Structure 1
Amino acid sequence: MTIKIDLQNQVRQTILPRWKPLLPLFEAVMNSLQAIKDAELPRKSLAQVTIEVEREPSLFDTENPPIVGFVVHDNGFGLDDRNFDSFNTAYSQRKLQIGGKGLGRFTWLKAFEQAVVRSTFRDEDDSLHTRDFVFDQSYDLDERGLPKVAIAQIPGTTIHLSGLRKEYRDQVPRSVDVLIQKLIEHFILVFLEPDCPNVHVVDQGHRYDINEIFQREYKSSSSSHQFQIEGQLFTLHGFRLPTSRTTKHKLVYAADQRAVTSDKLEEFLPNLSSRLEDENSKPFFYLAIVQSPYLSKHVSPNRVEFDFSAADDADVETDLLGEKLIPRAEIRNAALPFIQADLKDVIESINSAKLDRITRYVASEAPQYRILLRNADRFLDRLPPVPSRADMEAALHRELFNRETELKKQSTRIIKEAEKVENYEEYHKHFTAFLDEYNELGVSALAQYIQHRKIILEFLERAINVQDGEKNFPLEKVVHQLVFPMQHTSDEIPYSQQNLWMIDERLTFHSFISSDKQNKSLRVLESGDIQRGDIVIFDEKIIFSDDTPDDRPLNSIVVIEFKQPGRSKYKEGENPVLQAANVIKAIRASKYKVDGRILPVANADIPATIFCVADLTPRLRQILIDFDANVTPDNQGYYGYHRTHKVYYEVIDYTKMLHDAKKRNRIFFDKLNLVDNR
């Protein structure tokens, strides 16, 4: 007694993704190719497979109406009793040795309403008979497929797939060029064989010789490579295809001479994100096909995936698998170098253009990355063919970070190995080479910081040169924000956003900064004072012992005051220096918090400095002269020491602050070719 199969349920459970609508056609074509091989025809020229395309009738002169069916004809062996018995057996082992799964015909009924089969074959006494039946979901073996005396003079089979269901019809390509491309791609390993049958496609009155197209557009540019993984042999074939045949670069995984699934190569080789051009400027796309007995062994019954994806599953115990599964990613990674070798001439040309683009970007905008250009081959392949500014910045930043990480690991290793090295000269050689590279990274970081300074000074210069009628907000706030963001402290603002060097390089070193905040709100002070300095800077001294709690914890206090540019009116007795001095007086009368302890600050001898940035209008100059301030040699500032308040002060003109900052940094700009000589 045999097990009966519920055909409708079998079809229902057959997996056929909508994005693979041509798989039923390919199953029919493969049956024809295998039937021809079984027929053992005396000459290759006699072997014929013809695929007729059926399109939906249209009342209008539509160029490519939807495809609704196919007719596949061959002059192969035919459905004799043995083959017909296999056809009627689900999961038949008849073609197991050549990769048959015994399920292909069920995909016909998944996508089509029916398959009309007419097959002529020779029986045991060498006479011709024909089987003629309709294969659909109501198929009954007792009523169909009985042989009759043949009218045809030669063996062969015709399969008419009709009634393409809408969900698949919408996915079938209408262009015959795309159809041919997918047909060749699926059977490309068959077309490579010397005894491949003659295959033709007939569509809308035109007959296409697929073998000739393959020889001209595929095989003429083909390459072949072999590699092994875990003792398994893989073969990779590469092809350069005309752009009319495809629109993307792909790596196809094949089993039993048929394509199963594929990867978009641009996801792993960014150089392949668009079409390529050969040495004759002819555009093409690259197609790679990898095959292996391992792939044929692990293909799923429906030929849409492989079962070795389990090797990527964290829940799979390797020793329970019975064999070491090779993940798809490992196969791909082994294939990619061969693909790059196939396209070496094209990729070198692309990378040369990219390097030129990156070199210009680094020279004009990002000198901190100059160190990376010497080893640009490390990251060029990871950029698209025509990288944008954002692409270049991201790649360079990532590469610089990777280099720094590598060198830090290397430094740790060198130091550990130093204890074991007996040959000092060898150690010195490695250590010197390491230092050379590490110092280059230091220069790169410095270049990035100098570039930042140049940009900040350009912002300052633009702000100073804004005409009075164009100012939407007070200039002192613009400058204040550039020097240090308002309403913040150094606890909140990263070092990269602090530009105190514009006023004085020494201000870069500090313990705590407050910008436009009341004294009583500062975490480092215990004070009820509501005064606020534009910028207040604290610098701690080191306390070496807890035995001296009365020691003053502060080394110095600095207050920076900004005044409205062009300001000519000051009230009687108003003096910006004294205004800042009062802020310092209140701080000195407060208590200072350090490491959770509250220590008195009350000591007038704690060094204090005031920087006042303002336009030196005639009125302000007179105030400073009456204040007994000293004028600087360039007449752009004043300075002095107030004995009563015990503060040193400097009053700086906005323009002087800009020019002095430029002078201090000019040597760095010059060395990095950042000087604007306009």
Structure 2
Amino acid sequence: MSKINIRRAVENIKSGTTIYTPVVDMIVNAIQAIESKKEKDGKITVLVERSKQLETDGSTPLVEGFAIVDNGIGFTDENRESFDTLYSVQKMTEGGKGFGRFVCLKYFEDLSVESDYKDSKKFKRRTFRMGKEHDIIIDERVSLSDAKASGSKIRLRTIKHGNFPDRKLDTIATHLVERLLPYFITQDYVCPKIEIAEEDGSNSITLNNYVNNGLSSLIKEIKVPESVFHISGHDFSSRVFKFYNPGNRKSKISLVAHKREVTDTPIHNYVPEFIDEFYDEIHNDDSVTNRNYIIKAYVFGQYLDIHVSLERGGFDFHRDQDLLYAISQNEIEKAASDIAKKAMGDDIKGRQEKKRARVESYVEEQAPWHRETFKELDLSDLPFKASSEEIEITLQTAKFNSEVSIKREVDELLSKSSIEDHKADVTKIVERISGTSKNDLIHYIASRKHVLELFKRSLELNQDGSYSSEGLVHDIIFPRKQDSETTPFKEHNLWLVDERLNFTRYISSDLPLNGPNSARPDLLAYDQRVLFRGDNEPGNPVTIFEFKKPQRDDFVNPSSKEDPVEQIVRYVIQIKDGDFKTPEGRAILISDNTPFYGYVVCDLTQKVVKWLQREKDFKPMPDHLGWFQWYNNINLYVEVISWDKVLKDANMRNMIFFHKLGV
């Protein structure tokens, strides 16, 4: 009398199995029963039991269970004792674990057996159910039978936890064929005939025909010359098949143990180009049609047979490498994916070329600063239909890895006794550094081009017929309410007005200079040339900007309090008088010869031009897009320039870079 906590055993079954697992296990048991009988005309029928409740939409009723019928040796006393023994060793040579029936109870409420077997010269019938508490066999009955041959019928009834995932008979047949395919393709082995049909025997489909005759076009093997591989002293082989009409399934790598599929992993995890279906051209008279298919690579090896898990839902070894096992699942699948890639040679090569062309197009059109990185870029891990974001991440990662590698090589080179002894290494590293720097320069120049396009649009009429506010164009040049402490030079566009302003030591943008109620020039820069960067020195120039909204000219009216020239003069006098301090609270050091530069940026309307000429005594620049004046008494040079001039000059200064770098 067996005593085992069956419920706990079922609850402890690991993940990796599916609802198809117990069905396949019962079919394999039926195959082994036929093999034990040495039955030449072995036959297995899988009957699909459906819900008696008709679907309101007329669709095929749900699957509720299965009956697996065979003409094998039956449940003899020996087989009965094996069923009643946990971890039975009776079928160990065939890969049996003595645990498969427990997996049945994970997915089905009930497992029952009805079997005819030969006992001496008489046939007997044995029926029983699998228990759910402590006894493996319950409700057993043995009686004489009028059967003429042995055989068994195993019923799996009432699905647990939801519905069976498939309804159509041919879909269920395809899933079973995938899991049992090794039985159909093993050399020098004749698999019993396996059929699947409705409960009344109608609509019968022979699974063997999927790979042999008749329906052989549904599965087709691709012969690969080098299909054997070796890992850490263990031998493996892989066979690659086409599966036509795959529905929404993906190409897979299936690891096999004792002729049964144990795991399946998408091949595109290793070779992204397998993400999509493949197509065969079918020529019919004058027409050509495409037939879609996926790939499945089945992997065989003694290592897999030995290490298959108890539930056959996985293996003892880990997916990633560890110290306990010599080989990981990833290693095996990676080697199998290489064979599958070889089998699909031209198709995969074409997809890889298409992917590379897609990345090249992205680099040329959107990210030319990555040209050098792209030349040596490995796209193996990039998804086949990668988004722009995924491409950019791949390029950025490659760039970062290249920079890390260069730094490592430079550090190693500098640690050597004499660089003179390693001139070849120095030259090579300098070339790589130059390439990386070129990428950064292209990126920077391309960014400038985008800024100029945005700046140009901000000066044009909006859809409602108005012009952008001065705040918008101000923000493009330098964000309002910010300073250089919060906005580094890489994030502002002062180069639009003057390239020298990229190297200022401090910039205040529309911020009070001495408390909340003090003056707020639009832009105040304490200019410190990069070659003479130092402390707050009297000789360093101070630059002040005032921006006016495009097409605005009311500031020239006599009643206006926003005269930008007078505002700049007033700021200069206040700075010279010591009214303002640096952000650190230090006095701004000003001497008699400290130069001041003032810029008013506005549109030079006719009204503004007359104002500058008649009231301000400004002189026109040669291009008449700007006016200037020198205030000798306070050492101030002022320019009033148009937005068009700012755009034109910025374009002119950068055009040669756009041209040379091809952006």
| TM-score, structure 1 normalization | 0.84
Q: Does 1:214 align with 2:211?
A: yes
* Pick aligned residue for 2:46 from 38, 41, 51: 51
Q: In structure 1, what is the Cα distance between the partners aligned to 2:419 and 2:479?
A: 51
| 2:397 counterpart letter in structure 1 | R
After superposition, residues 295-444 of structure 1 pair within 5 angstroms as: 295-309=304-318, 318=323, 323-324=324-325, 326-376=327-377, 378-379=378-379, 381-416=380-415, 419=418, 422=421, 427-428=423-424, 430-444=425-439
* Alpha-carbon displacement from aligned partner over 1:44-68 (angstroms, at most 9, x marks no partner): xx23222222222344694421112
Q: In structure 2, what is the Cα distance between the partners aligned to 1:324 and 1:92?
A: 26
Indicate the SS of the match to 1:205. coil
In structure 2, the CA distance between the partners of 1:414 and 1:213, relative to structure 1 (3 Å rule), is farther
In structure 2, the CA distance between the partners of 1:565 and 1:58, relative to structure 1 (3 Å rule), is closer
Q: In structure 2, what is the Cα distance between the partners aligned to 1:416 and 1:466?
A: 61
Q: In structure 1, what is the Cα distance between the partners aligned to 2:281 and 2:375?
A: 27
Q: In structure 1, what is the Cα distance between the partners aligned to 2:627 and 2:472?
A: 23
The match for 2:595 is: 607
Runs of 5+ in structure 1 lacking a partner?
522-527
Q: Does 1:99 align with 2:100?
A: no
Indicate conservation of the 8 Å contact 2:575/2:588, yes or no.
no
In structure 2, the CA distance between the partners of 1:418 and 1:258, relative to structure 1 (3 Å rule), is farther
Q: CA deviation at 1:294?
A: 3.1
Q: Does 1:256 align with 2:258?
A: yes
Q: In structure 2, what is the Cα distance between the partners aligned to 1:543 and 1:16?
A: 69
Q: CA deviation at 1:472?
A: 6.7
Indicate the SS of the match to 1:185. helix
Q: Does 1:29 align with 2:27?
A: yes
| 1:466 counterpart letter in structure 2 | L
The match for 1:165 is: 159
The match for 1:38 is: 36
> Which sits farther off after the overlay, 21-30 or 236-245?
236-245
Q: CA deviation at 1:140?
A: 7.9
The match for 1:458 is: 453
> Which sits farther off after the overlay, 131-140 or 79-88?
131-140
In structure 2, the CA distance between the partners of 1:14 and 1:271, relative to structure 1 (3 Å rule), is same
* Alpha-carbon displacement from aligned partner over 1:547-587 (angstroms, at most 9, x marks no partner): xx9x8366221111112333333244975233113223333
Q: In structure 2, what is the Cα distance between the partners aligned to 1:482 and 1:141?
A: 81
In structure 2, the CA distance between the partners of 1:132 and 1:80, relative to structure 1 (3 Å rule), is closer
* Pick aligned residue for 1:191 from 176, 184, 195: 184
Q: CA deviation at 1:449?
A: 1.5
In structure 2, the CA distance between the partners of 1:406 and 1:218, relative to structure 1 (3 Å rule), is farther
* Pick aligned residue for 2:77 from 77, 81, 89: 81
The match for 1:478 is: 472
Q: In structure 1, what is the Cα distance between the partners aligned to 2:530 and 2:397?
A: 38
Q: CA deviation at 1:518?
A: 0.9
Q: CA deviation at 1:532?
A: 1.5
Indicate conservation of the 8 Å contact 1:248/1:285, yes or no.
yes
Q: In structure 2, what is the Cα distance between the partners aligned to 1:185 and 1:285?
A: 12
The match for 2:249 is: 247
* Pick aligned residue for 2:3 from 5, 20, 45: 5
The match for 1:624 is: 612
Q: In structure 2, what is the Cα distance between the partners aligned to 1:520 and 1:164?
A: 82
| 2:430 counterpart letter in structure 1 | L
The match for 1:20 is: 18
Q: In structure 2, what is the Cα distance between the partners aligned to 1:490 and 1:504?
A: 16
| 1:410 counterpart letter in structure 2 | E
| 1:568 counterpart letter in structure 2 | D
The match for 1:524 is: none
* Pick aligned residue for 1:205 from 196, 202, 205: 202
Q: In structure 1, what is the Cα distance between the partners aligned to 2:150 and 2:143?
A: 13
* Alpha-carbon displacement from aligned partner over 1:134-157 (angstroms, at most 9, x marks no partner): 213276869625363x53333333
Q: In structure 2, what is the Cα distance between the partners aligned to 1:624 and 1:50?
A: 101
In structure 2, the CA distance between the partners of 1:354 and 1:49, relative to structure 1 (3 Å rule), is same
| 1:580 counterpart letter in structure 2 | I
* Pick aligned residue for 1:72 from 68, 74, 85: 68
Q: CA deviation at 1:669?
A: 2.1
Indicate the SS of the match to 1:36. helix
Q: In structure 1, what is the Cα distance between the partners aligned to 2:449 and 2:93?
A: 73
Indicate conservation of the 8 Å contact 1:76/1:157, yes or no.
yes
In structure 2, the CA distance between the partners of 1:304 and 1:277, relative to structure 1 (3 Å rule), is same
* Pick aligned residue for 1:561 from 535, 538, 546: 546
In structure 2, the CA distance between the partners of 1:363 and 1:159, relative to structure 1 (3 Å rule), is same
| 1:114 counterpart letter in structure 2 | D
Q: In structure 1, what is the Cα distance between the partners aligned to 2:512 and 2:402?
A: 44
Indicate conservation of the 8 Å contact 2:109/2:160, yes or no.
no
Q: CA deviation at 1:202?
A: 1.9
The match for 1:646 is: 635
Q: CA deviation at 1:246?
A: 5.6
In structure 2, the CA distance between the partners of 1:135 and 1:418, relative to structure 1 (3 Å rule), is farther
* Pick aligned residue for 1:658 from 625, 632, 647: 647
| 1:552 counterpart letter in structure 2 | E
The match for 2:174 is: 181
Indicate conservation of the 8 Å contact 1:271/1:382, yes or no.
no
* Alpha-carbon displacement from aligned partner over 1:518-543 (angstroms, at most 9, x marks no partner): 1126xxxxxx9811111111234899
Indicate the SS of the match to 1:94. coil
In structure 2, the CA distance between the partners of 1:246 and 1:48, relative to structure 1 (3 Å rule), is farther
Indicate conservation of the 8 Å contact 1:16/1:110, yes or no.
no
Q: CA RMSD in A?
A: 3.5
Q: In structure 2, what is the Cα distance between the partners aligned to 1:541 and 1:421?
A: 35
* Pick aligned residue for 1:152 from 144, 147, 151: 147
Q: CA deviation at 1:459?
A: 1.4
The match for 1:487 is: 481
In structure 2, the CA distance between the partners of 1:102 and 1:484, relative to structure 1 (3 Å rule), is same
* Alpha-carbon displacement from aligned partner over 1:88-108 (angstroms, at most 9, x marks no partner): 112211122322121212233
The match for 2:285 is: none
In structure 2, the CA distance between the partners of 1:311 and 1:282, relative to structure 1 (3 Å rule), is closer
* Alpha-carbon displacement from aligned partner over 1:387-418 (angstroms, at most 9, x marks no partner): 44334333333333333333333333444457
Q: In structure 1, what is the Cα distance between the partners aligned to 2:291 and 2:274?
A: 15
Q: In structure 1, what is the Cα distance between the partners aligned to 2:312 and 2:149?
A: 32
Q: CA deviation at 1:311?
A: 6.8
Q: CA deviation at 1:261?
A: 2.9
The match for 1:525 is: none
The match for 2:495 is: 501
Q: In structure 1, what is the Cα distance between the partners aligned to 2:419 and 2:33?
A: 71
Runs of 5+ in structure 2 lacking a partner?
283-289
Indicate the SS of the match to 1:289. strand
In structure 2, the CA distance between the partners of 1:246 and 1:389, relative to structure 1 (3 Å rule), is closer
In structure 2, the CA distance between the partners of 1:602 and 1:172, relative to structure 1 (3 Å rule), is closer
Q: In structure 2, what is the Cα distance between the partners aligned to 1:494 and 1:544?
A: 19
* Alpha-carbon displacement from aligned partner over 1:475-512 (angstroms, at most 9, x marks no partner): x2222111111111112124332111111111111112
* Pick aligned residue for 2:303 from 294, 303, 306: 294
**How many residues are aligned here?**
640
Q: In structure 1, what is the Cα distance between the partners aligned to 2:136 and 2:332?
A: 45
Indicate the SS of the match to 1:237. strand
Q: In structure 2, what is the Cα distance between the partners aligned to 1:278 and 1:402?
A: 40
* Alpha-carbon displacement from aligned partner over 1:196-226 (angstroms, at most 9, x marks no partner): 2222222361221212203423342365733
| 1:205 counterpart letter in structure 2 | S
In structure 2, the CA distance between the partners of 1:206 and 1:222, relative to structure 1 (3 Å rule), is farther
| 2:359 counterpart letter in structure 1 | I
In structure 2, the CA distance between the partners of 1:131 and 1:222, relative to structure 1 (3 Å rule), is farther
Q: In structure 2, what is the Cα distance between the partners aligned to 1:468 and 1:246?
A: 47
